Structure 1
Amino acid sequence: MTGSQLQMILPKFPSCSYLENNPSSKQNILERLEGGEVVLGDGSYCATLEKRGYVKAGHYTPEASVENPEAVEALAYEYARAGADITQTFTYYSRDVGTPDDVNLTCGEINQGACNIAKKIAKEKGTIVAGGIVQTGVFSTKRDKKEVHEELREGLEVLIQNDIDLIIVEFFGNIIEMEWAIELALSYNKPVAATMCIGPKGDTDGVQPEECAVRMARAGAHIIGTNCKFDPFISLETMRRMKAGLDAENLHPYLMCQPLGFRTPDVNHFGGFHLPEFPFAMEPRQITRIEAAQFAREAYHLGIRVIGGCCGIESHHIRAMAEELAVERGGLPEGSRKSDHDLSTLKKKGDMGRDEFKMKGSKEYWQSLIPCTGRPLSSALNRTMNPEVVDRSVLN
């Protein structure tokens, strides 16, 4: 292939256009979506900070927001620089339980520290401050709406006191509890995004994705979709089904998808946290930046306009998504100044006759590459009983 042929298949970006987040940018996500923007979320905090030594596996609580605020702030800054339009508070739950034995901080102190960090990043980088609430402990033992609301209200208290820009009702596995959570979140007069941690087989009661999506929309959520537990391509399969259900009922909320950053086509109904490799051997499954870009493009074509990630999605993945959607977003993220986003550096080395770079200046090369594990005896897939959608996802 000649140099001119290679250049023809390189990605096209607006020349010299970098989208630096600025503090004067609009922070109302609904206005931005209505204006046609593609809004990028940030990525993993718990999983990434655990690898860096600031979160204890098994607990996964965010006391680092107080104990090591500089580490949390640096990660939030990385995401914003990579192109994230949203900075999510590194908060958790609503009760003073679950932290390691040597932590003597209250849930309120931790959550306030997290809000302080998110607001600082937003002030500097112009990001949307989002705070999340997750499924409750009480729902699994007693499906009582009043008690669920009480528990969720405690989690929302510090977020509302800090006047966050967006409430994310996330990581809910049952549509009944999700409906109750949406009802409560809407009472605070904030934009509400609702995302379920389900795969194509539906929620914990077997309610299918199409019905879950319709019920979330009818409950009033402004943005709906999926997050966590499943990989990008399983999540897209779930989103396709959700969108089909919404279209059939002529419902048109904005769509959001924040999947795992690991390839998990071989998981069962309960997702990636049930893999034998979790939590200390997941690295071989982590998606590449090329796969992150592929996910972002497929999500965009599906009509998803809030695109981000959950556990395993790191700043280079968010940057890859931003670069893939640079034309749609009007430019490149600040972090692309140090990125070979157009492959020109690799192409130049290849044109100099260096064999190890011969084809690496081609986007086609990277998109068709099947990465190796380097482990001769590694299994391609876990032998999970009744895998979720291995027949589809494994082919992506």
Structure 2
Amino acid sequence: MPGKGLLERLKNGESLVVAEGYIFEFERRGYLKSGSFVPEVVLDHPELVKSLHEEYVHAGSDVVLAFTEQIEWAVEGGADFIVAETFGEFGEAMLALESIKQYGKGLPAVITLSVPMTMMMHDGIPVDEACKRLEDAGADVVGLNCGRGPETIIEPLKLVRKACRGPIAALPVPYRTNDNQVTFFSLTVPGTEKPAFPLDLSSCYCTREEIRKFAEECKNLGIQYVGLCCGNAPHFLREVAGVYGTPAAALKYSPEMEKHFIFGDEKKNDPYFTKTYKDAITKK
């Protein structure tokens, strides 16, 4: 983020679009093993890690996340801030914040929580209270990541927005979670009872329109740190960037269906193309 740092941008009322989901994307591309999810790709194919970061920046990400769990490595690598993502335990999140304050050499801390099936963390703390405590303890950005999809993350986000004063983060997974299947761990392959996580989650993907609606809801809530987590892909992130007005290079290549050879305005009334399309879809 050349020019201005994280806190300066947020204090100026700006928003940050954030790409996560690198591990899932590398697994889909065949460079990382599902199960252990250890990112050997960093050592085996560092050029691909660099390339995927560039793809997400092209799609609109203001932030480049490093594949590291060591605060010292992030500091030595010239990080602008440190992100800690925790999975359902408030105590874990607080320990992460304390570590950043101890070893982070004054870098801003972004602490996000993965919200379980209920509005309570696994150690019994309501999600909004957990974020408020983290903010009071010195976290510069607090919010929610992973686990829930766009449809089921909005309600807890509203609680967090009401409880906290500072910038809020929202980074759901791009899967169709719902009231009966609140997190992507509980999703089933449509039409079956087979668990979709982790190998068949592609059957539960959101549409671009659903991602765009999520981004619009976040913008209306005043969410400043927004993006997508596990399952993210550049075409999804571009939708978020478009809603938030991020100058993403990929927006140049947004769909223009009016130019489509079948659905476009210039062709839809052409008898030849209309007949050809009808023949194609009715052909046995």
Same fold (TM over 0.5): yes
Contact 1:226 1:258 in 2 (8 A): yes
The aligned amino acid for 2:259 is T
TM-score normalized by structure 1? 0.62
State the TM-score, normalizing by the size of structure 2: 0.84
Q: Residue 32 of structure 2 aligns with which residue?
A: 55
Aligned partners of 2:18 and 2:228 also within 8 Å: yes
Equivalent residue for 1:176?
91
Per the alignment, in what secondary structure is the counterpart of residue 43 of structure 2? helix
**What is the correspondence of 1:126-205 to structure 2 with a 5 Å cutoff?**
155-187=70-102, 188=104, 189-199=106-116, 200-205=118-123
Task: Judge conservation of contact 1:26–1:32 (CA < 8 Å) in 2.
Answer: no
Q: CA deviation at 1:344?
A: 4.8
Show structure 2 runs of 5+ residues with no match.
188-194, 271-284
Pair 1:267 & 2:184 matched: no
Q: For residues 215 and 269 of structure 2, what CA distance do their matches in structure 1 show? A: 31
| SS of aligned partner of 1:225 | strand
Q: What is the aligned partner in structure 2 of residue 120 from structure 1? A: none
Residues 42 and 49, structure 2, Cα contact 8 Å, conserved in 1: yes
**8 Å CA contact 1:257, 1:307 repeated in 2:** yes
**Contact 1:213–1:242 (Cα < 8 Å) also in 2:** yes
Alpha-carbon contact 2:150-2:214 (below 8 Å) kept: yes
Q: Note the C-alpha offset of 1:173.
A: 1.6
Relative to 1, partners in 2 of residues 1:58 and 1:30: Cα closer, same or farther, differing over 3 Å? same
Contact 2:259 2:265 (C-alpha < 8 Å) held by counterparts: no
Aligned-residue CA RMSD in angstroms? 2.2
Query: Which amino acid letter does the alignment assign opposite residue 110 of structure 2?
Result: A
For the 8 Å contact 2:170–2:226, the answer to whether it is kept is yes
Aligned to 1:338: 253
Whole-angstrom distance in 2 between the partners of 1:286 and 1:279: 12
Question: Deviation of residue 175 (structure 1)?
Answer: 1.3
CA distance in 2: counterparts of 1:355 and 1:75, whole angstroms: 41
Deviations 1:170-202 (A, max 9, x none): 124211221222122123200111100014522
2:82 & 2:63 partners in 1: Cα distance?
Answer: 11
User: Structure 1 residue runs of 4+, over 4 Å off?
Assistant: 346-349
Cα distance change of structure 1 residues 193 and 347 upon mapping to structure 2, 3 Å threshold: farther
Structure 1 residue 76, shift from structure 2 partner: 0.8
Most deviating of 28-37 and 169-178: 169-178
Deviation at 1:349, TM superposition (A): 4.7
Q: What SS is found at the alignment partner of 1:87?
A: coil
- How far is 1:353 from its partner? 4.5
Aligned residues: 259
Find the counterpart in structure 2 of residue 290 from structure 1: 209
Deviation at 1:36, TM superposition (A): 1.8
Distance 2:44 2:222 in 1: 40
Q: Which residue of 2 aligns with 1:79?
A: 56
